[in-house]
């Protein structure tokens, strides 16, 4: 018996003990960024979500928090049954519609009804932050009981190692670390006596009968008011307009008690937006660029665009020069957003050096074709060609002398041509074609340029050509 089948059988047994009815169906629910496995289990008169998760501390935190929230009459899932020795439990099912699915295709033009759902969520958030802080058992928090300096440094390092490193953004390690220390100390000046949901965003807000219900708060801990407001209003792929964000922020501020120092809230609000974006970019780097999950790859351009907007607004009375420099470099990275898309099939045509890795496909549809040119004659071994590239006539003439180069091109065309025709027939939007060699300067560039000319003469396509190692070329053009 495989592991998945074993998990299902244990969940069904737990379900039937709770429901006192035979299971009729059990269906896996598509995971998102979570490591948890969800199953919708139904019988004749009941339904529940079965959850399997191997992180014992998170399971304990979620169940403890949920039981407290149920006592407080919050719109959170009831815990029906649990068998934590097997890492499984059953919770209330709120359905499949979340706030993100409602706002996803509206973005800058969300309706008044959608704004109302946001406002209801913000009102509920304040109850989480205040009533939750009074009643929760914070000894159950994982990995920390507070959004303390260690937590903030972890988030910033997550950004550094999983986004900056994967995007090859250069930085001075010591200077950046010093700025992380300064920035986190500044953030901790805000009032830290509230419950922080930690992942308060529209994917975790389920909608049923026009009311919001809340899930995935197992990472909660003590911290500031600003963090969760920033998480919701600056969820990058929700793509709320700045006017909508401002309206919703003002609604939230009106909820706060009169004794609240509103100016102090505003002072630290955008800095918390910044660290949230850094944390999110780290997540996108890990889940998207490393684990290759399409949703996270597609979200990166939104995060970079939001960061660019934020840096124009941000004012802090601290100096973080290296972090500021790095963030500016991030905003200069080039990504394709959905608004950049053209009608029809887009070919992402790349040359690259194997030592730098295969180029990332930001469309989220997979890497497509990768052709290894290293078996071909290498002009880079000859002194007279080292300062040239595959775009230069002497290099092109050199490679065109070899029959094996023409055979390589012929085989490439035989492979990609039927794929392009099929992609166009099925109305696919993206296909990557990558050519790699040792240095990404001669053979791969020659092949990419040659295939580009072939594609332009043979098909009606959108072509995005990118020589990924261009910054290292020493050329006369």
Same domain? For 166 and 314 the reply is yes
Same domain? For 165 and 36 the reply is no
Domain boundary among 45, 66, 91: 91
Q: How far apart are CA 276 and CA 310, in angstroms?
A: 12
pLDDT greater than 60 at residue 341: no
Give the whole-number percent of the chain exceeding pLDDT 90.
Answer: 80
pLDDT greater than 60 at residue 94: yes
Q: 43-54, pLDDT tens digit by residue?
A: 999 999 999 999
pLDDT greater than 60 at residue 108: no
Same domain? For 130 and 45 the reply is no
Q: How far apart are CA 218 and CA 34, in angstroms?
A: 11
**Residue 205 domain flag:** yes
pLDDT greater than 80 at residue 14: yes
Write out the residue range of the structural domain in which residue 279 sits.
Answer: 99-331
Domain boundary among 277, 303, 331: 331
pTM of the prediction? Answer: 0.77
Q: 348-400, pLDDT tens digit by residue?
A: 999 999 988 888 777 766 668 999 999 999 999 999 999 999 999 999 999 99
**Residue 388 domain flag:** yes
- Give pLDDT, residue 105: 57
Same domain? For 316 and 192 the reply is yes
pLDDT band at 314 (very low <50, low <70, confident <90, very high): very high
Same domain? For 118 and 182 the reply is yes
Same domain? For 285 and 400 the reply is no
pLDDT band at 475 (very low <50, low <70, confident <90, very high): very low
**Residue 336 domain flag:** no
pLDDT greater than 70 at residue 34: no
Domain boundary among 296, 331, 366: 331
Number of domains in the chain: 3
Same domain? For 302 and 406 the reply is no
**Residue 227 domain flag:** yes
Q: CATH number of the domain at 282, please.
A: 3.90.1200.10
pLDDT greater than 90 at residue 31: no
Same domain? For 78 and 115 the reply is no
Same domain? For 368 and 384 the reply is yes
- Give pLDDT, residue 131: 96
SS (H, E, C) the chain: CCHHHHHHHHHHHHHHHHHCCCCCEEEEECCCCCCCEEEEEECCCCEEEEEECCCHHHHHHHHHHHHHHHHCCCCCCCEEEEEHHHCEEEECCCCCCEHHHHHCCCHHHCCHHHHHHHHHHHHHHHHHHHHHHHHCCHHHCCCCCECCHHHHHHHHHHHHHHHHCCCCCCCCHHHHHHHHHHHHHHHCCCCCCEEECCCCCHHHEEEECCEEEECCCCCCEEECCHHHHHHHHCCHHHCCCHHHHHHHHHHHHHHCCCCCCHHHHHHHHHHHHHHHHHHHHHHHHHHHHHCCCHHHHHHHHHHHHHHHHHHHHCCCCCCCHHHHHHHHHHHCCCCCCHHHCCCCCEEEEEEEEHHHCCCCCCCCCCCCEEEECCCCCCHHHCHHHCCCCCCCHHHHHHHHCCHHHHHHHHHHHHHHHHHHHHHHHCCCCEEEEEEEECCCCCHHHHHHHHHHHHHHHHCCCEEEEEECCHHHCCCCC
Same domain? For 307 and 169 the reply is yes
- Give pLDDT, residue 4: 80
Q: CATH number of the domain at 65, please.
A: 3.30.200
**Residue 376 domain flag:** yes
CB proximity list for 398: less than 8 A, separation 6 or greater: 377, 379, 382, 385
Same domain? For 22 and 51 the reply is yes
Q: 149-193, pLDDT tens digit by residue?
A: 999 999 999 999 999 998 989 999 999 999 999 999 999 999 999
pLDDT greater than 60 at residue 251: yes
Q: How far apart are CA 152 and CA 172, in angstroms?
A: 19
Same domain? For 350 and 313 the reply is no
Q: Between 297 and 161, where is the model more confident?
A: 161
- Give pLDDT, residue 337: 54
**Residue 477 domain flag:** no
- Give pLDDT, residue 364: 64
pLDDT greater than 90 at residue 339: no
Q: 411-425, pLDDT tens digit by residue?
A: 999 999 999 999 998
- Give pLDDT, residue 203: 94
Mean pLDDT value across the chain: 92
**Residue 244 domain flag:** yes
**Residue 52 domain flag:** yes
């Amino acid at each position: 018996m495989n592991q998945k089948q074993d998990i299902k059988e244990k969940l069904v047994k737990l379900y039937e003990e709770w429901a006192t009815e035979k299971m009729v169906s059990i269906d896996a629910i598509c995971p998102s960024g979570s490591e948890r496995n969800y199953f919708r289990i139904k019988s004749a008169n009941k339904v529940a979500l079965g959850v399997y998760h191997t992180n014992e501390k998170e399971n304990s935190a979620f169940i403890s928090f949920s039981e407290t929230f149920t006592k407080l009459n919050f719109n959170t899932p009831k815990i029906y049954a649990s068998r934590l020795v097997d890492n499984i439990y059953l919770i209330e099912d709120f359905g499949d519609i979340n706030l993100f699915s409602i706002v996803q295709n509206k973005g800058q033009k969300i309706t008044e009804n959608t704004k109302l759902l946001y406002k209801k969520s913000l009102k509920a958030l304040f109850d989480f932050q205040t009533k939750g802080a009074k009643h929760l058992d914070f000894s159950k928090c994982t990995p920390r009981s507070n959004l303390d300096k260690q937590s903030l440094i972890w988030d910033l390092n997550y950004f550094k190692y999983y986004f900056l490193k994967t995007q090859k953004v250069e930085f001075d390690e010591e200077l950046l670390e010093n700025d992380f220390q300064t920035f986190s100390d500044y953030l901790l000046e805000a009032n830290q006596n509230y419950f922080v949901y930690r992942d308060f965003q529209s994917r975790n807000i389920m909608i049923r009968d026009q009311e919001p219900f809340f899930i995935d708060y197992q990472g909660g801990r003590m911290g500031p008011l600003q963090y969760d407001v920033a998480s919701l209003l600056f969820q990058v792929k929700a793509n709320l307009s700045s006017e909508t964000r401002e309206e919703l922020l003002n609604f939230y501020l009106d909820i706060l008690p009169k004794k609240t120092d509103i100016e102090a809230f505003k002072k630290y609000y955008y800095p918390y937006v910044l660290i949230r974006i850094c944390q999110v970019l780290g997540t996108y780097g890990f889940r998207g660029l490393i684990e290759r999950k399409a949703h996270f790859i597609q979200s990166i351009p939104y995060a970079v665009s939001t960061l660019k907007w934020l840096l124009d607004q941000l004012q802090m009375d601290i100096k973080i020069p290296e972090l500021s420099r790095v963030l500016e470099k991030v905003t200069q990275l080039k990504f394709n957003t959905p608004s950049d898309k053209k009608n029809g099939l887009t070919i992402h045509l790349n040359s690259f050096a194997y030592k730098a890795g295969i180029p990332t496909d930001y469309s989220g549809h997979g890497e497509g074709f990768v052709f290894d040119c290293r078996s071909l004659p290498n002009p880079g071994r000859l002194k007279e060609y080292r300062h040239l590239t595959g775009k230069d006539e002497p290099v092109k003439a050199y490679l065109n002398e070899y029959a094996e180069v023409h055979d390589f091109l012929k085989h490439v065309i035989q492979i990609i041509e039927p794929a392009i025709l099929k992609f166009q027939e099925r109305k696919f939007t993206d296909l990557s074609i990558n050519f790699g060699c040792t240095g990404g300067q001669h053979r791969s560039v020659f092949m990419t340029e040659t295939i580009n000319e072939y594609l332009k003469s043979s098909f009606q396509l959108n072509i995005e050509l990118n020589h990924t190692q261009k910054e290292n070329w020493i050329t006369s053009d």
